[in-house]
């Protein structure tokens, strides 16, 4: 049986469940901490590069087009990501960890942006 992708968003559900877990911030910190720190110190874009690589099936060429960079620039960033966080991006389990951590981090950022905002003031 084939699941209708538009109706069954298991990935979105899984990320929401992970983000709601009490340990989710610690998970993001363990997996992405070095990259988040690097980006903050150097005004970098490595976390966004991980997010884009994951969205592009880890293809440097597709990620380069989406980031408006040369492929070699994405390959350089990929090398820096591996060096900084100590994860080999050729390993599927490491890619999965990074992809989940970036997705959970995005949920936390979005939730933080909404904190203190009165949703009744938002017009549809």
pLDDT reported for residue 15: 86
Residues 58, 102: contact at Cβ < 8 Å?
no
Task: Write down how long the chain is.
Answer: 124
The ranges assigned to domains in the chain are 24-108
Q: Is 58 left (phi over 0), alpha (psi -120 to 50) or beta?
A: left
pLDDT reported for residue 112: 73
CA distances from 120 to 64, 70, 112, 114, 117 (A): 40, 44, 17, 12, 9
Q: Name which of 39, 59, 57 is nearest 48 in CA terms.
A: 39
pLDDT reported for residue 48: 97
pTM (predicted TM-score): 0.81
User: What does pLDDT average to in each consecutive run of 10 residues of the chain (124 residues)?
Assistant: 58 86 95 97 97 96 98 98 96 96 93 57 36
Q: 24-108 belongs to which CATH class? A: mainly alpha
pLDDT reported for residue 13: 82
């Amino acid at each position: 049986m084939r699941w209708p992708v538009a109706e069954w968003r298991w990935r979105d559900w899984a990320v929401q469940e992970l983000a709601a877990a009490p340990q989710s911030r610690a998970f993001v910190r363990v997996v992405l901490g070095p990259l988040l720190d690097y980006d903050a110190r150097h005004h970098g874009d490595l976390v966004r590069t991980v997010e884009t690589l994951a969205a592009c099936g880890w293809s440097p060429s597709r990620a380069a087009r989406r980031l408006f960079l040369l492929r070699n620039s994405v390959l350089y960033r990929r090398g820096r990501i591996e060096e900084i966080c100590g994860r080999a991006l050729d390993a599927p389990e490491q890619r999965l960890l990074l992809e989940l951590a970036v997705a959970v981090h995005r949920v936390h950022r979005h939730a933080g942006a909404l904190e203190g905002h009165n949703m009744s003031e938002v017009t549809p």
